[in-house]
């Protein structure tokens, strides 16, 4: 994970807007997730997409929870 963050920060330092970097990382993740589950010769069906969306949602929720906890600990 840190390698991706380092690359994103390098791109940011080169002047690429952070929202563009975020969108590119999300697109790359979607492409790779499709490859990981469906291979090169297919795509995800509706239920597969739903499963990936839920996994992303849960992961994002976990990240937000951890960030909130970190802020709370810093305020104590």
Statement to judge: residues 49 and 31 lie in one domain = no
Q: 54 is in which domain, residue-wise?
A: 44-76
Give me 12's structure tokens: 């940011």
pLDDT at 74 over 90: yes
For the cut 90, the answer to whether the pLDDT of residue 72 exceeds it is yes
**What 3-state class would DSSP assign to 15?**
coil
- Same domain membership, residue 38 and residue 9: yes
Same domain, 53 and 20: no
How many domains does the structure of the chain reveal? 2
53 and 73 part of one domain: yes
pLDDT tens by residue, 6-34: 999 999 999 999 999 999 999 999 999 99
48 and 36 within one domain:
no
User: Do 2 and 22 have their domain in common?
Assistant: yes
Query: pTM of whole model > 0.85?
Result: no
Pick from 10, 8, 11: which is nearest to 29 by CA? 8
Whether residues 55 and 33 share a domain: the answer is: no
Cα 21 off chain centre by: 11
């Amino acid at each position: 994970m840190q390698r991706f963050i380092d690359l994103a920060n390098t791109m940011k330092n080169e002047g690429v807007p952070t929202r563009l970097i975020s969108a590119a990382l999300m697109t790359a993740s979607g492409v790779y997730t499709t490859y990981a589950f469906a291979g090169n010769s297919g795509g995800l069906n509706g239920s597969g997409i739903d499963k990936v969306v839920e996994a992303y949602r849960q992961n994002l929720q976990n990240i937000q929870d951890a960030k909130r906890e970190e802020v709370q600990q810093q305020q104590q």
